[in-house]
Amino acid sequence: MTTAAGRPNQRSRTRKDLLQAAARLLKEGRRPSLEEIAEAALVSRATAYRYFPTADAILFEVSLDVATPSPEALFADGGDADPVRRVQQVDTALHDVILANEAALRMVLVHSIQKAMEPAARAKAPARQNRRSPLIDKALEPVRGQLGPKALARLSRALALIIGPEGMVVTKDVLRLDDGEARGVKQWAIAALVEAALAEARRPAPPSRRARAGTARPQQE
């Protein structure tokens, strides 16, 4: 159990090491090769290749990390207390990043799909980095006291289906919406999900079977 649980953590650390090594080399004014990045991260080229197909893929991830605001930066001033507007703020920030990096992000999706079709490769390395969930979780902080842990996690996961590059593919490629329409549909869906979760939390729980039995009218003798 410990070994199996440790593998995902180790893979995440290796991926982070590669990104940090690439960032250091970029700050030195260099455009490093995959071999140079692997050497700086103290891993083999074969290991680096399992995480990223090319040096350009690593460098794009580094640029995406820089472009994507951290949860603390996005809500540095505390922000609006309204959870709907906070999550919509997350979507707007990520939508702008996605729009500015659309071509490269589509290649990330292609690589992710290809990896998913290779069981051996999928087992060795995480396919994607999850940038959206920490932002969504930070946006939902004002309602932590209103939603239980399970309800909060379900809401966060549901919102993650809307926020991100996959939403871009659906709105642009499948639905053929222009950018303004796409933003509007996602903002409406965010509001609907958050409001539905809060409404569900406010509904009184149904009485238990034992309680119902205790309030039943006694039979006449």
Per-residue model confidence as pLDDT tens digits over 45-98: 888 888 888 888 888 788 777 788 889 999 988 778 899 999 999 999 999 999
List Cβ<8 Å contacts ≥24 apart for 133-138: 133/160, 134/70, 134/71, 135/69, 135/71, 135/74, 135/90, 135/93, 135/94, 135/163, 136/87, 136/90, 136/160, 136/163, 137/71, 138/71, 138/72, 138/74, 138/75, 138/90
Mean pLDDT of the chain: 83
In a domain, 219, yes or no: no
pLDDT band for 217, please (50, 70, 90 cuts). low
Residue 104 has pLDDT above 70, yes or no: yes
pLDDT band for 187, please (50, 70, 90 cuts). very high
Residues 106 and 17 in one domain: no
In a 3-state reduction of DSSP, which class is residue 75?
coil
Q: Note down the domain range covering 139.
A: 68-201
CATH number of the domain that residue 9 is part of: 1.10.10
In a domain, 213, yes or no: no
Which residues fall within 8 angstroms of residue 129, CB to CB, at 6 or more apart?
15, 61
Residues 130 and 46 in one domain: no
Residue 2 has pLDDT above 50, yes or no: no
